[in-house]
Structure 1
């Protein structure tokens, strides 16, 4: 938010000094900043840009729009449209995410994943990180993991990591290494002594799955009635080593793919892979994701959990 407001202010100062009175000069940058942000931030950016426009008219020492009615009307219309466009963009993206019925101690969301579908279960357990971003064209990018460190394991710290991932994952041309780098910078800024053990999954529009492991358990694929490790190379946790030392993303194939965090393996111990045998059963990824959050021997739920069916039911 501060970056958007600073950019709007700097743009107004530059337009004023250059004596630019055309609407595009005053509205283009605030519009780009607002549309790419959340609706609330977009509304604030538009309001602040409107105040700066008014100052350029009222204060004689500030060049700018002066009192050209047509320019003022065009700028006002453009600024009013920014929050609307930001809201429409957010609504289009979140419309693909649908929350399904589940017990009160777990939230389960379904989302398209290429020609197939995926389900993300979140429990609100300590250190839990989970975010899914539908990508234009039918793709999907998911962050799933656990944070370590007092500065990271707070609602503010976890939210900052998830929001940074959503921003970085929104671009259709972003690669998995780019997402790891963006998260690495955020983790180091928030807590130099903390780190994020995470798996980042990318599903393209054709249903091909690639994943990178950063200190997290291996992905699991359904093979017959059993679950088997996918064999994705493991790299160090995000923020724990020098940037650029992370493992490359690896392809993952299977009729069903499951991803869990270190909380799952810690809770189930050496039995964690046997517990994941249930990934191969059933036809509903949402139900499977919910089952994977159940604690060992009646203990508290442990999340997050992600289940992906890369192909539609007709092809399985």
Structure 2
């Protein structure tokens, strides 16, 4: 699971180029006009891409100074120095942002056929397992002050399962989860539903969305994914979440469902491979919620009988007692 990229390289490059064209046509000569948008785009992407954006923005800026027919950036040393310093700082800011995310989402040792990540989830902890199977969609977004928003699901349809399309779904989810103070889960699901229909009208995404607030309040939204398992300490039961059907096929999106007050662990098993199981007709895996340790529990969810290939993604959230309802 990749972190640290809210904007793709293509979008950032296009934005920096478009900004230079607009500034030139409008005859804007202030450093702020030429540097602000490329800087924001660079900070919102990966550090290496941020360095590329800064270099490209500096090239466009220099061209506007050198080519006399292009009204552009001021040529005096003070203005050029301010812009150069600002663009040089952008990759450092992108690196600092990614380091903060990496401290929140840590990859931990796991079997070779699974990628395992742990992260804070409000007042508890969460573990996310990916099995690198075609069509897997998973993203975990740390929110302010320790909150967490997670998307996990499986695409169906050859077009939607292409890597560039699964990455687009994950990127859209990250952007929606971080917008403002955090959009409600039904609104995020609605955005993903429209994106699925635009990318592949014949495909769909069986997904489950989970949000944990900084105080530990948990809400879940089931869109074609399997039902969650709720472990209360002495027994495990199905969460009985209402299901609107997979994204791309659903007609309505239900309200998010709060986790039961007595839940100590929530487990979201893989969506499986068939439409019936993707729609949640089978009960959640039983033994995994009882396994000691968040990482061990999520790994148990990905196992298949007779040593078959692991299936993912899967999520386990451990919540301490006394959290708010």
TM-score (norm 1): 0.90
Q: Which runs of 5+ in 1 are unaligned?
A: none
Task: Indicate if the aligned counterparts of 2:288 and 2:298 stay in contact, CA closer than 8 A.
Answer: no
Cα distance in 2 for residues equivalent to 1:57 and 1:260: 57
Cα distance in 1 for residues equivalent to 2:145 and 2:99: 16
Correspondences of 1:32-51 after superposition (within 5 Å)? 32-51=40-59
Cα distance in 1 for residues equivalent to 2:98 and 2:182: 19
**Alignment pair present for 1:278 and 2:278:** no
Give aligned pairs, total.
309
Task: Indicate if the aligned counterparts of 1:232 and 1:251 stay in contact, CA closer than 8 A.
Answer: no
Task: Provide, for residues 65-108 of structure 1, a one-character-per-residue CA deviation record: whole Å limited to 9, x for no partner.
Answer: 24211100100111111122112112211221112222111221
Task: Out of 9-18 and 113-122, give the one that drifted further.
Answer: 9-18
Find the counterpart in structure 2 of residue 250 from structure 1: 257
Task: Indicate if the aligned counterparts of 1:184 and 1:238 stay in contact, CA closer than 8 A.
Answer: yes
Cα distance in 1 for residues equivalent to 2:17 and 2:186: 33
Backbone CA RMSD of aligned residues: 2.4
Change in Cα spacing, 1:154 to 1:9, as seen in structure 2 (3 Å) is closer
TM-score (norm 2): 0.87
Alignment equivalent of 1:93, drawn from 98, 101, 114? 101
Cα distance in 1 for residues equivalent to 2:160 and 2:307: 28
Task: Provide, for residues 161-209 of structure 1, a one-character-per-residue CA deviation record: whole Å limited to 9, x for no partner.
Answer: 2222223223342221232123223322321111100000000001111
1:10 Cα deviation from its structure 2 partner: 2.8
Find the counterpart in structure 1 of residue 232 from structure 2: 223
Task: Provide, for residues 137-176 of structure 1, a one-character-per-residue CA deviation record: whole Å limited to 9, x for no partner.
Answer: 1000111111100012233332222222223223342221
1:312 Cα deviation from its structure 2 partner: 7.4
**Alignment pair present for 1:24 and 2:32:** yes
Q: Which runs of 5+ in 2 are unaligned?
A: 1-8
Cα distance in 2 for residues equivalent to 1:112 and 1:213: 22
**4+ aligned runs moved over 3 Å, structure 1:** 264-267, 269-273
Find the counterpart in structure 1 of residue 111 from structure 2: 103
1:217 Cα deviation from its structure 2 partner: 1.2
Find the counterpart in structure 1 of residue 165 from structure 2: 157
